[in-house]
Each structure stands twice: as structure tokens, then as C-alpha cells.
Structure 1
């Protein structure tokens, strides 16, 4: 039966028995007329029944299956609505209809749901056409904070919407206004009027990605009014009539208020504010998309008693001034830094954005620690974790030196309980210290594969077993030596030890580790070890792979490449990576490694033919200066971190927007051309980063531990592959060709030195890529249409590049949107889409993970640290996982990050027109295994570095 006969909620009558009615819900419903009515659950039952009748005929009413299904779905919908709204608030009629569609899809009734969504689309188009010519709804009044009321000023609303839509293709002010009217009701609160505008544009994002810019611009209006009402109440009315805020008036007032509230360092007031304010560019507010701006509003902007009074361009300038505070020409450098971050060419990491220019500028991203094998050392490390986490640092802890279960304790003549109980304390500390309420504390514990407790370590994230020996919130990672991988490939044995009996294994790597390990194995075979156990290497390997599939942990990282390719071999040992597996720095009881991160937005550096080399050089030169400044300005909570950071001065420049760059070049992710682009783009960034560090060394001096480093010997990252290969006595499977003048740069490095011991590391950029509106890090597109959930709520994410291509082919319509939702954001099975576009817009689970490894291997040859490399695998098997991680090792990768897997049969879908906002359902693939196994882009572990 045609979809046009399907009912909406408000058109139904009462054909359902009273058994389907649900009580206990007492919120109001906003009707399309703007009026309010009481919620009536029976209308939901009637709507669902009529939907079945429309598709299956009148016989549906006599079906016991459909009767029970209707009752069950009605209960689910009422429960969902009750959990999604404060019952003192009104809920719109279409929010209820959204839940009907979701319930139909979850029940597997896809034909009914599809017909229903098409019916709603038809009705919405009719209402939109009628609304364009209709005057505003009569009788709508606005309630002000003081209790007075006034008529709704629709002229002002329309003007603001038109301004927000200006210059954007594919958007309609009238369409937004129609949605605004739908969300207003008589007696609406004043602050809800602006929110209604933002939400109105937000609901249209899935139809046209440019509405993400419209919604952000409307949100800017709310921010301006909130900030000015707090600081300059007399400016609010004038601002409403103005296109842009007067920063000459606002910025000094903002700075004075922030200093008065002890939120900003008073040193910033000593800048030449006339020069600073003249450089501010409020028009750049228009570059935000909703997800990025809402994230900044919720978590980054300065606030007092919940009132945000820091506007976006003031935020960027505060960060820039905070990073330029020790420069000679502070104003010029601050303006240079501001220009770079405000146009999204480069973005500092989250701790830098949080804290630059504040009284406690803890600007570094992550900290790596080594835990000593005694109670004082263990609990000092846990205290250090708390202090470092307090100001937004992500943590990587090396636990390999702590004695294992059953080992002897000389002081008490007892036996050790091993590493696990202390890991539990570290887990709970990370949760207790939640980074000032801005995000959860996050830590990753590392353990070497020869440790006697490694099998218990593998089980830490399981949901079964003794909960006292589980760490449900802490990330874990295996620190795997090459010798273990060789034993796996030879199907040999592997011996586990307690580190108190093999203390030198912790600090050895490469051949030296292998030789000493064999000696200890012989001692164990002679019975000369108190605690040891021999296992079959391949069985332990399989268990490692099983756990990473089932729980998502421990991640697999490789000890020997991290050490053998480290420029700082002369100064210590790399004992672990960090929270996101991209940092590889030396640690000891005397030094806590610190890394200072930021990322270049590749998408902003593209031309039609490739990377803009001159633009990259300018960006990297300024970015490296900003990162180097972090080291000197930084607020250090523990002395070991300060000592390490000042001695070695490591930074980690990374990239984001890699997938966007491939779209601009029309290159599919799964292709040789994409691997070449990964190689050449990283070579360019690496060359410019090393060159910029040499420039800084010439200006400011070499880092103190330079002499004896690989840099001092003219050994660059590309050259260190040979060191790894010689130690392994196996080829590293990566092409070592290059295109730039590396010989000339080698000479500069040896002659002038380096300012920084390390220059490159690719972080996940989970949050800062949202701020810039680009794909994160080096990731393929997750889905072409999905709902992203994070601490700021639920946001519709649409692949704008795909939408623009579909528009050119006249394929972008309601049916395509519905199909994208049904097929989990994939165009691969949609017949209308050309094959070339299917390859170009293949999503993460459609790209064979071997392409990810090949591209990562090419990047790794240029990087002196590592990269956060997620591996995606559809319908995984033990054989696939085994092959994948062995390939990563053979390719010379230093680390891997999350394994993201899913099941083809476990998917939650939605066919709603408006899949956005906290009151609406989420349309995403539900990955398998459960939460622990998958980084779902809202996990705080992904955001801890950036």
C-alpha cells in the first residue's frame, strides 16, 4: 500500500486495547501548531498498528504477532522517551515519531519503517511549502528571566537565520525557519528561542552538511549574548543589531575579567592589546561546524559559574599569547600563532588549548613513567599519576620492573601478590582524578611479554572473574620483544620470569636482550630460578590476540623497533609507549618522559594536484616553534618530568585530515596511490620538522643531551631502519625510496644540531579534528553518515565530500539518506552509486587492514616516534588477526592501537529524518565485541592526548 496513507502520531484514533497503555509519564507534547497537549501513549500504539495496516493490509489487526509486537514496541518507546527528557519539559511530536521509526527498525520491520519514513518526508515537504508563505504562528509569547513576557520577534529570528545561511550552498533560511517554528510554543523561555534556532539547523544536517555551519553560526549568537551579558551588559542590544562583535571593546574587557577571576595569567595584560585586538578576525567564527564549536563551548572556553564568557577568537588568541609569552617580539609571535590555529592549519593538543595563558599552564599532552620495584616507588608512581592527570595529561606506565606473583619479598620473608593489585589501584586513581571535571583521567599500563604475570595481565579487562583483579577503566598494552615474535613464527617455547630474578632484561633490547634471555632460560631449565614458567609461544600469542578481540586490550606494541630506532639510545631506554601508543621516549626512576603534541591539518594544505609544499613548510616551521615553547612555559607537577623535558626537549608533530586529503585527490584509501601519498606527505612533514628543529637549534641552542644521539651521527629516521634490520636479521618490509634532499639535511643536523630530541608522532586527534571539522588523524572514514556521541552530546556526521558528489549525479535524496542509514553509512551495496565512488568512499570496515599497515609502514620510516594506528577488521577470525599483527611486525611498525571489529549481524539502525540531539535516537553500527573491544570515537582513551 502506498506510503501516503500512513498515519502520523497526531492523526490516529483508538483501535488498540487498553493493555497497551502505559502510565507514569507526565510530560507535555508540543504539537506542530505550537500548542501543548498531554502525552498519550495509546496514540503511539495506534500509529504503529496503522503503519502495519498500510503495508500488510487490514489483516494485520488480527495477527497475534503484530498485536504483541505493537505492545512491546510501545513500551520500549515510552521507556526511551521517559529516559530522554525531563518531565517538566515539553517534547515535540516528531521526537515521538522518531522513536516509532527506531522501534520499527529494531524489530526488523524494515519495509514498514521505510514506508513510514517516506510518508513523513512527504508530509514534511508539504508543511515546509505551506510554512514558506505562512505568517508566524499567532499568539506566541516569550517569557523572560524576570517573569515578564513579550511577543516573539520573528523578524529578528529571520534576520539571524538569513545571516547564518549567507554564502553557503544548499541551505535554505526558510527551511530553518520552518524547523524553528516547529520547536516554539506559547510561553517559550527566552533562552530557548536561540537554542531553537541552533537545533532547527542541526536537524537538517543529514540532508545538507552545510547546515553544520549554519547551526554553528547560530550557536555563536548564543555565545556572544551569554558572554556580553556577563561582562558588558550594555553591549547586548547593540550586538543583536550588528553583524560582528566589536573585539576592540570586548577583548580587553574579557582579559580583565579572566584575570580578575584568576583564570588567566596577568602577564597577558602586559601585551600591546591594541596590536592584539587589531589582529583578531571574527569572520573566522564562520569556519566552525557545530560539533567543533559545541565541543569548545562545553569543554574549552573559560567560564565562571557555568557562564562562558570566552568567545572563539579570544580563545585562540589567549592560547597564542600563552605560547608567545617568553618570545622577544611577543605580539608578532602571538599574532603568528593565532593566525595558524584560528584558520585550522595547525591545532595544538587539548592540554595546550585548555591551559595556555592560565595560572597553571600544564600544556604537555602525555607522560611516561617507570615504576620501581618497591612499595615507596609504586605509590610514588601512583601519586605522580594523580598529579599529572589533574591538569589533563594522559599517562603511560611501565610496570615491567615490578616483581611478579609468588616472588620472594626479602623484607617480610613473604611472597608478592604481583603486579595486578597495584594496577587496580592505578585504575581507580585515574577515575578519581578526572582532569578538573573536563574529561576522565586516562592511563595505560604496559607489561613485557616475558613477565610472569603476563597471563593475568591479559585478563585485566575481562568482565568475568575476581573483580579485585580487574581494571575495567584502565587501558593496557603488551610490550613485545622481537625474540618473542621469532619464537611464535618458529613455534618455539617461551619462558616467563619475575623481574627481581632477571633485572637486566627490563633495560635490554635487540641482540643484547636475546642473548641474556637465553642465558636465563638455561638457568630456569637447571632449576636455578625461584619463579619461572615455560609456555608455548604461539599459544601465548593466540591468547593475546583472543583478548584484544574480546576486550580490546592489551594493545600490541613492539619493544625493539621503539628502542633500536630511537634517536636517544645513548641516553636511556624506551620502556613503554603512552596512552595512545604514539610516544616512544626514554623513562627511568629519575626521568618521567613528557611529550608536547600538535597536528598539521593536511586537508588545509592541498591543491588539486597534491600537497602545497610551501604552505606545509610555513605551517610546520611555526608549529615547531609553538611546540618548543611549550617545554619552557610548561607548569610541571613533578620534578622528574621537568628534568626530562628540559634535558631532551621532545615534541610530537602529527597530522590529521589525511582522508580528506585523499578525497581532494580522488584517491581511494585502499590503493597503491594512497600508500604513495602517505609516504610522500609524511616525508615532506618530516623533512620540514627536522629542518625547523635545526633552525631553532641555530637560534636557541641544541638540546642538552644531543651529543651521542643518532642525530649527532647524522643518522635520521629513514637511516635507522637498517639498525632494526641488522638486529632482527630479517628484512623490514618497507620501500625505502625518498624524494627530498636528505643528504643536505643530514649535514645541517650534524653541524648545527637539533633543538628537539624527537620531532614527530601521530596522535589520534579525536577532539582537535572535530574542532577543525576534518577526519581524525590518519584514519579512513568511519561511516559516511552516523551519529557521533561524546561528552557534548550526539551529533550527526555526514561525509560532505560524498554528498557533493552525489548531488552532481542527482542522487542525493531522502531515499539515499535512508539507504545510508540502513547500510550503516556505506555506499558499497547501494546499486545507484557508481563503482568508482564506492571505492573512493569505502568506509573503515570496507578497507582491508593490510592497506592501513602498508601506509603506516611508509609513514613510520620518516617518524622518530610512532603513530596511533587503529586496525579495522570486518568479521574477524583468529587467522586474520594473526596475519594482521605479524604483518605489522614485519613492516617495522613500532606500535598498534585499537583493534576495531564488528559483526555483520549485530547492527542497530534508524531511519529517522532527524538523527540528532540527545532526545533523538542514535543510528550507528554497534560493533562487536562489547564496549571494551572498540574505540567508538567517544572513548576518553582516544582523546587523552588530543
Structure 2
């Protein structure tokens, strides 16, 4: 309840971002409708550093102590009740985020020298922390859209980019400024980096895939497999050139256990019934295992960050996000600019559908093409916006990426008409499919601002038939309505060199 806007303000942290650090045992209790026991952290201090089977065994020992009278301070309740409370708070305040303790630790390459106690703010960095070390990670993101050539992923270009990016990130470790010695100590000892991707949605557009499709899920899998393949090799190359990181011996890398292999550890400790991760692969990983076993320059190599700012600067879609809206207004010191999805505009131009009427229709429907009857069905599927995509597609694509990543990913979940059942199914699915963390829950408002135009809505909601889609209070538009350019703003061309929004 820390982020609630009501109640005793002394018990609220309005500016602190919070997350639930959820053990697998709790999720099993929720699914099996069993009880959960709450303890005072002072009475069970060792649970903080335990995970997997060790946590489960110790936790059940503490529960036994409550039953035979050795521990007096506890509270037992149905796990489902606590789960519902967590979901309610997430829906109401956006916090605490759902992050899963056991996959973060069991799949960590560095479990031999510490424990992951939390993620970072954006939930993609999962590194060890203790009193002597503060986790630091240098992040970079590959512009995936720039590696789609002739409608397919250019693996040679991607290999070259990833090799350069890993070298650059490793260089940053040595030339960086560290504000506290614990951070410098951690970074110099383990040398973690986090290479991710951005422009995922744009890459789908370039291939003609809808985010809500098996093709998109397969591309998420194969593109991240390629990034992982080249990134691990790049770090192994640097190890040959510059030496392995200090704490390499004993790591999963040194045992020839890659991120895709670490799923075995999770399945063994969690149980087959609670881990439904796809294990398919397309590349030759045996050679990579042998190279990693000989030495890695970096303890961690991959993480997918939100890339909100750098994606905007680069002009691509953020991170692994679906398109939020096909049309929106942005503001800066130069004024307000209407921004439209260029891929949608170009697709509509090819079909002869990009005109002033379409612009007004998009404005009326907040950038959605689904209600516009004259837009073909294939374009409606391809240009679904974030709240028009079932969240299962987001989770499935994220699961396919997670199997290749040694850290985690910033995964926002968009749920239209959110309710308890949808949230319950979505977050259970995220756990069952092996995700380490989730980020913001995005819900859509129940009401929208009423639209108006200079032409009294006559150009809004126009369909191929003209009648059904028109407002009940307005007459069907006539030919004259389409020949009055003085009253209607012109459609953006997207290629005006003097227009900031176009560029």
C-alpha cells in the first residue's frame, strides 16, 4: 500500500518505486490454493539470501516452528487472498511491480559469488548486491529495425553491430566515473554489461507482421537468439584479447552453461509442471559453449532496457514495446506537433487511402484503425495498437526472448478493460513462462475526451458505406464535404524537411 493516494501519509512513499520480490513457493501456493505464512523479517533473516529449494526448505521449517509454538509472531492466510491484494494494488497504483526472485537467481551466471536481492528501477538488471558491492551495469541497445534488409533479419550486419557494441560497453567500464567505491569495486571485479534491442515494433512493420501473431513471437525468439549468439561470442573474443573477468571461475559460463541451458536449473528446482518455457533453438550453440567455458570478459552480457529517450532520438519504436498510438500529439519548446505512424501512412498511401478524411478518422478514434471500415483487414491486424493486442502475445514474445538473456527485460503489460481475472491470468502466465521480471501495468481509461473539428464532425467516422459509421446526430457526408480544403487541415506528407514532426 506504499503508493496509495489515500490513508495515513506517514505510511506512504509517493516517490518510491516498489516491487514484490516473489519466491516460486508463493506462486505454487497461489495456484494450488494453499495457505501462506507472513513472518517478521527480524525472525527469519536468512530467507533474504535463500532461493530455490533452499528457500523452500527453510521456509517450511519456519512454518513448522509456528505450529509447535517455537515462533509466536506470524500471520497465516490463504495465498490467493494476498495475491488478489497484490493485483489490486498494482491496478490501483501501478505498484508494486511483479518480479520473480527464483528465476533471477537460479539463472544468474554469478550465483557462485552472491545473491540477486532486487532488480534495478526498470527491472532489466539482475545483479548481485551486498554490503561491499553496489551493482552497476552499462547498457546499450541495438536498433533492430536497421537490421531488417529486404524483409528479413540481416545476420551478418547484426553480428558486426553486436561485436562493436559489446567492445564499446566493455570500454566504458574502464573509463567511467564511479561515485562510490562499492560501485567501482563491483564493476571492475565482474564487468557486467547489458546489451539489448530497440525498434522491435518497427522491425515487425518492415516484415509485415502484426505484434499479435505467431510470426512476431517467432521473430522475437530468433532475433534475440541471434543477439545472444553474437554477444556471448564477442565477450569471449574480448576475454582472449584482454583476459576474463576476475570472478569468472565457478560461474555458469565456466561450466559451459549458457542462458538457454540455465532453464534446466530452473525446471529442476521449480518442477516441470510450473515451467512452460519453449526450448527451441536454430543456431549451433555447442561451439559457443566451448568458447564461453574458456573465458568471458563480462559476467553478464544482455539486458533489454526501456530505451525511452534514445529511441525517440533515433526515431524508432521504444525497446520491445508495441505501438502505443498510431497518431498522437507531442509537445516541446517549439510547440505542439501531431505525430503519425509513418509505416501506417506509407501503407495507406500504397492502397490509395491516405487523405484528409483518413486523418480526421484517425484523430476521432485516437489513432486506432480498427473502427475505420475502409481500412483493409490485413492493415487493421498489422497496425493494432498496444491496448488492441491481447497481453498473452506480449508475455509469449517476452518469454521467447528471456530464454536467451542472462539478465532480464523491461516488460510493460498493456491490458484494456482490465479486471481481476485478466490480471490474474496474465501474471500467472508470466511466471509459468519463465519471465524474471515485469515492469509497469498499463490500463486504459474508461472514457475518452469528446472529439470536435472545424467541420462539425462531418469528416469524422467516414466509412466506405458512409451511413453506419456517421454520428447519429449528423447527416451522411456528401461529395461537397470532400472538396472544401479551406476548412480541413492537409494530411501530413511525412517528408517535409521544414517540419519537425515529419523529421
- TM-score normalized by the length of structure 2: 0.88
What is aligned with 1:858? 400
For 2:153 and 2:362, how far apart are their aligned partners in 1? Answer: 31
What is aligned with 1:540? 82
Retained in 2: the 8 A contact 1:492–1:537? yes
What is aligned with 1:687? 229
* Alignment of 1:774 onto 2:319: no
For 1:538 and 1:792, how far apart are their aligned partners in 2? Answer: 51
What is aligned with 2:463? none
Judged with a 3 Å threshold, the aligned counterparts in structure 2 of structure 1 residues 910 and 777 are, in CA distance, closer, same or farther, namely farther
Superposed, which structure 2 residues align to 1:265-280 within 5 Å? none
- Residue number among 621, 624, 631 corresponding to 2:163 in the alignment: 621
What is aligned with 2:116? 574
* Alignment of 1:845 onto 2:387: yes
SS of the residue corresponding to residue 689 of structure 1 reads helix
- Residue number among 291, 294, 313 corresponding to 1:748 in the alignment: 291
Could you give the per-residue CA deviations for residues 14-65 of structure 1, whole angstroms, max 9, x where no partner exists? Answer: xxxxxxxxxxxxxxxxxxxxxxxxxxxxxxxxxxxxxxxxxxxxxxxxxxxx
Retained in 2: the 8 A contact 1:822–1:911? no
For 1:583 and 1:910, how far apart are their aligned partners in 2? Answer: 45
Judged with a 3 Å threshold, the aligned counterparts in structure 2 of structure 1 residues 688 and 512 are, in CA distance, closer, same or farther, namely same
For 1:771 and 1:630, how far apart are their aligned partners in 2? Answer: 21
Judged with a 3 Å threshold, the aligned counterparts in structure 2 of structure 1 residues 789 and 583 are, in CA distance, closer, same or farther, namely farther
Judged with a 3 Å threshold, the aligned counterparts in structure 2 of structure 1 residues 835 and 554 are, in CA distance, closer, same or farther, namely same
For 2:349 and 2:454, how far apart are their aligned partners in 1? Answer: 21
Judged with a 3 Å threshold, the aligned counterparts in structure 2 of structure 1 residues 539 and 795 are, in CA distance, closer, same or farther, namely farther
SS of the residue corresponding to residue 777 of structure 1 reads coil
What is aligned with 1:716? 258
How far did residue 724 of structure 1 move? 0.3
SS of the residue corresponding to residue 829 of structure 1 reads coil
Superposed, which structure 2 residues align to 1:614-693 within 5 Å? 614-693=156-235
* Alignment of 1:557 onto 2:83: no
Superposed, which structure 2 residues align to 1:361-510 within 5 Å? 459-510=1-52
Alignment RMSD: 1.5
For 2:155 and 2:26, how far apart are their aligned partners in 1? Answer: 42
Superposed, which structure 2 residues align to 1:204-353 within 5 Å? none
For 2:358 and 2:50, how far apart are their aligned partners in 1? Answer: 57
Judged with a 3 Å threshold, the aligned counterparts in structure 2 of structure 1 residues 535 and 788 are, in CA distance, closer, same or farther, namely farther
How far did residue 798 of structure 1 move? 1.1
What is aligned with 2:53? 511
Residue segments in structure 2 that go unaligned for 5+ positions in a row: 456-503
For 1:900 and 1:910, how far apart are their aligned partners in 2? Answer: 27
Retained in 2: the 8 A contact 1:653–1:761? yes
For 1:555 and 1:793, how far apart are their aligned partners in 2? Answer: 35
For 1:792 and 1:639, how far apart are their aligned partners in 2? Answer: 42
Retained in 2: the 8 A contact 1:821–1:911? no
How far did residue 609 of structure 1 move? 3.2
For 2:17 and 2:336, how far apart are their aligned partners in 1? Answer: 25
SS of the residue corresponding to residue 516 of structure 1 reads helix
How far did residue 702 of structure 1 move? 0.2
Judged with a 3 Å threshold, the aligned counterparts in structure 2 of structure 1 residues 606 and 525 are, in CA distance, closer, same or farther, namely same
How far did residue 794 of structure 1 move? 4.9
Could you give the per-residue CA deviations for residues 773-798 of structure 1, whole angstroms, max 9, x where no partner exists? Answer: 00000011000001245799754321
What is aligned with 2:280? 737
Could you give the per-residue CA deviations for residues 172-220 of structure 1, whole angstroms, max 9, x where no partner exists? Answer: xxxxxxxxxxxxxxxxxxxxxxxxxxxxxxxxxxxxxxxxxxxxxxxxx
* Alignment of 1:821 onto 2:363: yes
How far did residue 761 of structure 1 move? 0.2
Judged with a 3 Å threshold, the aligned counterparts in structure 2 of structure 1 residues 713 and 830 are, in CA distance, closer, same or farther, namely same
For 1:894 and 1:792, how far apart are their aligned partners in 2? Answer: 41
For 2:241 and 2:198, how far apart are their aligned partners in 1? Answer: 29
SS of the residue corresponding to residue 475 of structure 1 reads coil
* Alignment of 1:796 onto 2:364: no
Could you give the per-residue CA deviations for residues 524-557 of structure 1, whole angstroms, max 9, x where no partner exists? Answer: 2333335321121100000100111011000000
* Alignment of 1:595 onto 2:149: no
If asked which structure has higher relative contact order (CA below 8 Å, sep 6+), I would say 2
How far did residue 499 of structure 1 move? 1.8
For 2:450 and 2:201, how far apart are their aligned partners in 1? Answer: 26
Could you give the per-residue CA deviations for residues 878-920 of structure 1, whole angstroms, max 9, x where no partner exists? Answer: 001000000000000000001101134344656579xxxxxxx
For 1:771 and 1:571, how far apart are their aligned partners in 2? Answer: 38
What is aligned with 2:497? none
Retained in 2: the 8 A contact 1:493–1:535? yes
Larger radius of gyration between Structure 1 and Structure 2: 1
SS of the residue corresponding to residue 80 of structure 2 reads helix
SS of the residue corresponding to residue 593 of structure 1 reads coil
Judged with a 3 Å threshold, the aligned counterparts in structure 2 of structure 1 residues 712 and 680 are, in CA distance, closer, same or farther, namely same
- TM-score normalized by the length of structure 1: 0.47
For 1:791 and 1:496, how far apart are their aligned partners in 2? Answer: 51
Could you give the per-residue CA deviations for residues 532-583 of structure 1, whole angstroms, max 9, x where no partner exists? Answer: 2112110000010011101100000000000000001101000100100001
